[in-house]
């Protein structure tokens, strides 16, 4: 994913001005850690399902996970569903298998395979590579077959880690829905190997591009990868030049509905970041009076509720916290005008509906 956008690589890996992970990536890491320990215990002790072990493993990792309490019930339910589903410990050869391999010309490929199954079928040796995804998107068979990450994993497994298998296939296990999607039936090793040469050439091209591009020339390359696997940390931090104010407004006005929804998502991320910042500031200051309305946060029990929902947007567009004479018209204008705001609201609602129905239309 990092290799698809050199700008992200620059700020997260070289300059390290932004952490390389965000909250939803931490959620994904938590899920991986729980499943790794749980499945490994089953492999070692020979059981296929054990709710007691899952409870112990889940609670142990939750204590150090730094996740929101509000996510506890859903994550717990997902992990219990996994435990109830069970697995065949005799077919699992590896879990969380880390690799770092030189594929020639100094190109180092590193990664981690979540799970590798090995078994015999009609006298043939079969290898299956499974990747865990804790995402709202349900992948289609074709998406699993075309996914670059899985193709790289299969290439590494076949050519460098465990060569010599007769049949191979890859799959995605949706931990949120307890659902496994394969790319199809296992295919002969020779047929799968047709893709290996193109993958190897692509890896070398990406490496050349990475080391030959001066860091000062790195620019963001927006696309589907901005939203994959929890989203880009640079985008979520509101630091991606591809989603600056002017470009966001232009994106919202495009005819391509997918581009518009992406622009709205970027707006929502920015608003959330600003709202979180304001929440901290308002807790230290008394609420302000703006055009006769109290702007700030009020405490009800242990929960803070925004009094004026549009004000964080205005602040985000450069209006000062100390500016107490802001009119509602000025706020709307600062946010791109009433029409732009209504369009953002409509598209945000459409995006939310698509995700609730588990549609993949806007899941990038």
What integer pLDDT is reported at residue 323 of this predicted model?
34
Share of the chain above pLDDT 90, in %: 40
What integer pLDDT is reported at residue 355 of this predicted model?
53
Q: Is it the case that residue 308 has pLDDT exceeding 70?
A: no
Each residue of 184-204: pLDDT tens digit? 999 998 888 888 889 999 999
Each residue of 329-357: pLDDT tens digit? 444 554 455 655 666 666 566 556 555 44
pTM over 0.75: no
Which range, 184-198, 275-289, 290-304, has the best average confidence (pLDDT)?
184-198
**What is the mean pLDDT of the segment spanning 30-38?**
97
What span, in angstroms and rounded, lies between the C-alpha atoms of 77 and 31? 12
- Residue-range domain boundaries for the chain: 2-203, 244-356
Each residue of 77-112: pLDDT tens digit? 999 999 999 999 999 999 999 999 999 888 889 999
Q: Name which residue leads in pLDDT, 346 or 324.
A: 346
Provide the b/e sequence for 35-49 (b: ≥16 CB within 10 Å): bbbbbbbbbeeeeee
Q: Name which residue leads in pLDDT, 164 or 238.
A: 164
pLDDT band of residue 118 (cuts 50, 70, 90) is very high
CATH label, 2-203, candidates 3.30.70, 3.90.320, 3.40.50, 3.30.300: 3.90.320
**What is the mean pLDDT of the segment spanning 248-253?**
62
Q: Is it the case that residue 47 has pLDDT exceeding 90?
A: yes
What integer pLDDT is reported at residue 141 of this predicted model?
92
């Amino acid at each position: 994913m990092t290799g698809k956008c050199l700008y992200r690589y620059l700020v997260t890996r070289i300059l390290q001005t932004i952490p390389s992970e965000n909250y939803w990536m931490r959620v994904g890491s938590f899920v991986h850690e729980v499943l790794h320990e749980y499945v490994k215990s089953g492999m070692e002790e020979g059981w296929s399902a054990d709710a007691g072990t899952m409870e112990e493993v889940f609670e142990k990792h939750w204590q150090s996970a730094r996740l929101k309490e509000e996510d506890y019930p859903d994550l717990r339910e997902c992990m219990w569903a996994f435990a109830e589903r069970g697995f065949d410990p005799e077919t699992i050869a590896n879990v969380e298998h880390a690799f770092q391999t030189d594929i020639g010309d100094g190109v180092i490929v590193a990664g981690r395979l979540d799970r590798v199954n090995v078994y015999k079928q009609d006298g043939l040796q079969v290898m299956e590579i499974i990747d865990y995804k804790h995402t709202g998107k349900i992948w289609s068979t074709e998406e699993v077959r075309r996914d670059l990450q899985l193709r790289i994993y299969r290439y590494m497994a076949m050519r460098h880690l465990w060569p010599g298998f007769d049949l191979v296939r890859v799959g995605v296990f949706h931990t949120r829905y307890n659902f496994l999607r394969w790319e199809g039936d296992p295919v002969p090793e020779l047929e799968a190997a047709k893709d290996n040469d193109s993958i190897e050439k692509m890896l070398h091209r990406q490496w050349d591009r990475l080391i030959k591009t001066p860091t000062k020339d790195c620019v963001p390359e927006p696309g589907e990868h901005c939203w994959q696997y929890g989203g880009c940390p640079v985008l979520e931090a509101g630091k991606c030049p591809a989603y600056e104010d002017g470009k966001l407004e232009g994106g919202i006005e495009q005819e391509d509905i997918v581009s518009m929804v992406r622009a709205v998502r970027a707006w929502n991320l920015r608003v959330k970041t600003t709202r979180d910042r304001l929440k901290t500031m308002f807790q230290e200051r008394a609420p302000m009076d703006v055009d006769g309305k109290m702007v700030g946060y009020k405490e009800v029990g242990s929960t803070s509720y925004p009094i004026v929902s549009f004000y964080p947007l205005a602040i985000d567009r450069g209006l000062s916290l100390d500016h107490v004479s802001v009119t509602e018209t000025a706020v709307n204008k600062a946010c791109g005008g009433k029409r732009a705001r209504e369009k953002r609201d409509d598209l945000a609602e459409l995006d939310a509906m698509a995700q609730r129905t588990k549609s993949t239309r806007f899941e990038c």
